[in-house]
Chains A and B, each alone.
Chain A
Amino acid sequence: MPFEGIGASVRRKEDARFLNGRGHYTDDINRPGQLFAYVKRSDRPHAKINGIDSSAAAKAPGVAAVFTGADMAAESIGGLPCGWQIHNKDGSPMAEPPHPVMAVGKVRHVGDPVAVVIAETKQQAKDAAELIAVDYTDLPGVATMAAALAPGAATVHDDVPGNVCYDWHIGDKAIVDGVFASAHKVVRLDLTNNRLIPNAMEPRAAIGDYDVNSGEYTLYTTSQNPHVIRLLMGAFVLHIPENKLRVVAPDVGGGFGSKIYHYAEEAIVTWASAKVRRPVKWTAERTESFMSDAHGRDHVSTAEMAIDAQGTFLGLRVSTQANMGAYLSTFAPCVPTYLYATLLAGTYKTPVIYCEVKAVFTNTVPVDAYRGAGRPEATFLLERLVDAVAHDTGIDRVELRRRNFIPADAFPYQTPVALQYDSGDYQTTLAVALKNGDWAGFETRRAAAKAHGKLRGIGISTYLEACGIAPSAVVGSLGARAGLYEVANIRVHPTGSVTVFTGSHSHGQGHETTFAQLVVDQLGVPLDQVEVVHGDTAKIPFGMGTYGSRSLAVGGTAMVKAMDKIIAKGKKIAAHLMEASVEDIEFANNTFTVAGTDKSKTLTDISLAAYVPHNYPIEELEPGLDETAFYDPKNFTFPGGCHIAEVEIDPDTGMVAVVNFTAVDDVGRVVNPMIVEGQVQGGIAQGIGQALLEAAVYDASGQLISGSMMDYTMPRADNLPNIHVATENTMCTHNPLGSKGCGEVGAIGSPPAVINAIIDALRDYDVRHMNMPATGEKIWSIINAGPSKLAAD
């Protein structure tokens, strides 16, 4: 019997349907009698809506209805809520302007929904939308944070002066300034983190289905967290009680964060379905996704490290501007604050840190969490700054890191930025990565490349991140408006098979396999007798969903706790059946035994007894074998590691090839090594994409120039090398699995490794810094400007 428990690279159960084209994605679903919705969107960045004339559209062939923001406002439909409240330096709360489902009064970004047409076919809806006449008065737009913060700039929201959502900080500025004033040297770096478009391969879609007989609404949606959507949409937007609202997220084709948020289209189709009394289906076109899915990243920062003569980090001071876009998306405010600034210690024992963050509204698509969510921004800043320190002092890049690492015996380690790390061994992950990436042999490879007219460089990033979100009370005290526990219901059926109902929601992570492996491990049930159910609020008690690398650490632990309850109850039943005392019952390998005897009962014997309670301790115990656990984590988890990128530049074109990528990550306990490797490889691909290829570009007026895949460079197979992934794990100390999570580490550690490698390749040109993406044009310009020309961007 092949081993299928924790640690086995079990091949995935979900592949059977995906490989045969029998996935069940939202656009594959068709409800009887459905109508189609097409959303008319603003084609301009900032304008007053004087009026909307939809009379021609309403009369167009096949059209059932046309709705606008005014129609929703007339029914007191609420705006899209923000789930995290950040406070300013002075303690006052952030600006929280309204975020109507469809624009009311003003449009604030290209893509802002203005109206929806509901028609018999998608084409009829789209054709009719062109007949809607919107009378706009254009307003000056602010497309960049610099423009938005300039004195006298147009305001995106009339009641948010200066376009500042909040001005937040962490750390003691006076203490940090004092350390800087007396430091041997201060190294400063100005840097940006480029705006990205997540572009999961499945475009967003939603189907609203109102049952006129029962008054119950069903929403099918491409979401990473159906219960969260039910909560937000039901409570705050459409005012539908939970018992009348079912949200189903079927197979979801990738998310990376972009499918966390409660989007306008979900509310539109749900509400419209009740209005027209037929199901309403909406599917995004890709160009539409570009202007309606939340974008990611988009920071501008100044970072300073105070050091002594040996390069010891004495203090870090950071000032960041973070783009919110035109409206607050569901989690946006926490991304550049509590998911960013609290990571600025990284793997280093920097004793004091101060970070201030100004969040800015602009006439662009709302920005929110995208794979890594704040931690790639922190890591890029830190690892670029560390290399800048090496550059300015002449201290070796690797040696500088070693000198400043938190030592392996310092855990638990309290950082100066709130987080307390539980475990880690940065010296070891570094050593293994240096060996795996053959750092020592690099100069030979550089010389060989030079002989062929190529510029080769190697770069390193040593990083950690915080995920496995999150302890509810902690995040609540920091402004979160939700709890961040996870829920698992383990149902042992009468004949011994098991169904796991989990509030997590896989959208590529392979939970149907890895979660089943947890049951194999703890209950000893064979893999093919375990089914994992996710994505339907009607089936699963509750859940907060899958993001922030939390599903194994938090969702998996909820499963472990529920299985603990199953075993505890099973022991009582077994004690009764075997006429022993419960203290003498042991459970292992699917079997209950009486210690010191050969008496045993299988889990199946127990479950049958539980559902057919004839010989059963009925006075003390209810029948059944079905337990639920809500697990609220004790802390974040802290995976991390060391990434090494090796690049080769063609000086004639400036094009960069990543010729090797080595990752050594500490992810705690690994359940399925194959899946962990896949997660890290995928994250690294996105990180390389950010470093070399991807940029969401607006022109000065606020038009989205990179508006489709024609102009936004998605990484392709020939842009990427083989990606060598290894793990070197220390266990998480505060969850029973010891798992830290691995979904985002790839995207977090890799971008600075790539940029550091490029700068190393260009060392003859004395480039001190380069922002992303490091395009061929940028590099060619540096090379052709001649050696000894200092370049900043």
Chain B
Amino acid sequence: MPQVTLTVNGKQHTVEVENRTLLVELLREKLALTGTHVGCDTSQCGACVVHVDGVSAKSCTMLAVQAAGTSVLTIEGLAKPDGTLHPMQEMFREHHALQCGFCTPGMVMSAIDLVNSHPAGITEQEIRDGLEGNLCRCTGYHNIVKAIAAAHPLMHGKA
């Protein structure tokens, strides 16, 4: 059985996996990081989104062995050690951008990548289009869009 070494939330791990083990399974089952969720089996829903080397990736559509040598950031690694929330987490709370919370980890991680890749500014339509890979059944997205728009200036130092 192969071993894969990767950094997760700043800590290095070496984990024994099967060839067919998905990255999300490694995170949830081997590292007990259950914040990343599985919501579908066709790569549509985005509940599994994490950052791999700074870019969002659907961890259900990546093999664990593909993540060897990478640095993975999950929802558990976002807040500071003293509990201070990332601006995106803060804005999700402020704007009621979550209800059941199941899509939230993947939604937040996707949203951070989306805002990171639009440093000059982001329109409402760009936010909606950029969330194409994330499903939410509870909120209707209205407040998620608001939260992301509000997080943009906080993340790009223009608050």
Chain A contacts to B: CB under 8 angstroms: 11-12, 14-15, 17-23, 25, 27-28, 123, 198-203, 251-254, 256, 285-287, 507-510, 674-675, 677-679, 681-686, 708-710, 714-718, 720, 722-723, 746
| Interface pair A20/B99, CB less than 8 Å apart | no
Give, as a whole number of angstroms, the nearest-CB distance from B155 to chain A.
Answer: 16
Q: Which of A18, A25, A285, A507 has the most CB of B within 10 A?
A: A18
| Residue of chain B at shortest CB distance from A255 | B100
Among A12, A256, A285, A746, which residue has its beta carbon within 8 angstroms of that of B96? A12
| Interface pair B35/A23, CB less than 8 Å apart | yes
CB-defined contacts of B141 to chain A, threshold 8 Å: 685, 716-717, 720
| Interface pair A199/B142, CB less than 8 Å apart | no
Give, as a whole number of angstroms, the nearest-CB distance from B5 to chain A.
Answer: 23
Closest 5 CB pairs of A and B: A21-B35, A253-B102, A18-B101, A685-B140, A508-B100
Main SS at interface, chain B: loop
| Interface pair B135/A716, CB less than 8 Å apart | yes
Among A200, A507, A720, which residue has its beta carbon within 8 angstroms of that of B140? A720
CB-defined contacts of B79 to chain A, threshold 8 Å: 20
Among A256, A286, A679, A708, which residue has its beta carbon within 8 angstroms of that of B137? A256
> What are 16 pairs between A and B in contact, CB < 8 Å?
A11-B96, A12-B93, A19-B89, A19-B92, A21-B33, A21-B35, A21-B76, A23-B102, A27-B38, A254-B102, A682-B137, A709-B45, A717-B134, A718-B129, A720-B128, A722-B124
CB-defined contacts of A677 to chain B, threshold 8 Å: 96
| Interface pair B93/A19, CB less than 8 Å apart | yes
| Interface pair A678/B129, CB less than 8 Å apart | no
| Residue of chain A at shortest CB distance from B85 | A19
| Interface pair B102/A678, CB less than 8 Å apart | no
* Interface stretch (choices B51-59, B103-111, B115-123): B103-111
In the complex, chain B residues 70-115 whose Cβ is within 8 Å of any chain A Cβ: 74-76, 78-79, 85, 89, 92-94, 96, 98-105, 108
Interface residues on B, range: 35 or more
Say yes or no: is B40 at the interface (Cβ < 8 Å to chain A): yes
| Interface pair A20/B128, CB less than 8 Å apart | no
Chain B contacts to A: CB under 8 angstroms: 18, 20, 28, 33-42, 44-45, 47, 74-76, 78-79, 85, 89, 92-94, 96, 98-105, 108, 124-125, 127-129, 131-132, 134-145
Given contacts A19-B85, A21-B75, A28-B34, contact A684 B140 (CB under 8 A): yes
| Interface pair A682/B138, CB less than 8 Å apart | yes
Q: Which of B45, B100, B136 has the most CB of A within 10 A?
A: B100
| Interface pair B138/A508, CB less than 8 Å apart | yes
| Interface pair A201/B35, CB less than 8 Å apart | no
| Interface pair A254/B78, CB less than 8 Å apart | no
| Interface pair A14/B101, CB less than 8 Å apart | yes
Give, as a whole number of angstroms, the nearest-CB distance from A52 to chain B.
Answer: 26
Give, as a whole number of angstroms, the nearest-CB distance from A221 to chain B.
Answer: 15
Given contacts A256-B137, A682-B140, A717-B132, contact A285 B100 (CB under 8 A): no
| Interface pair A722/B142, CB less than 8 Å apart | yes
Give CA–CA (A510, B128) in the complex, Å.
Answer: 25
